[in-house]
Amino acid sequence: MANATMTSKGQLTVPKSVRSALGLDSGDRVEFVETERGEFLIVPATRSVRELEGLFYRKGRKPVSIEEMNAAISRQAAKSR
């Protein structure tokens, strides 16, 4: 099991085995995601937004405009108040 010690400045050195497993290089970012059990996952945040293109593509589905997206967000925000 890999481990690390936090410095007085709150810094950690991610062990090489963990960096390799996560595909991390110098300058990459990570996110700390809290689970329902109060534990944290370390998730690489190194992907470009451009890599998401086509992720939700469905054949025959009409593309949604920015205006339609904004309207949907506004509707949901109004419901949650």
Each of the 81 residues of the chain gets a pLDDT tens digit; together they read 899 999 999 999 999 999 999 989 998 889 999 998 999 999 888 777 777 777 777 788 888 889 999 999 999 988 877
Token digits of residue 51: 């890599």
Token digits of residue 71: 């309207």
Write down how long the chain is.
81
Report the chain's C-alpha Rg in angstroms.
19
The domain ranges of the chain are 16-79
The Cα 81–Cα 73 span in angstroms is: 13
Beta strand 30-34 with 40-44: parallel, antiparallel or unpaired? Answer: antiparallel
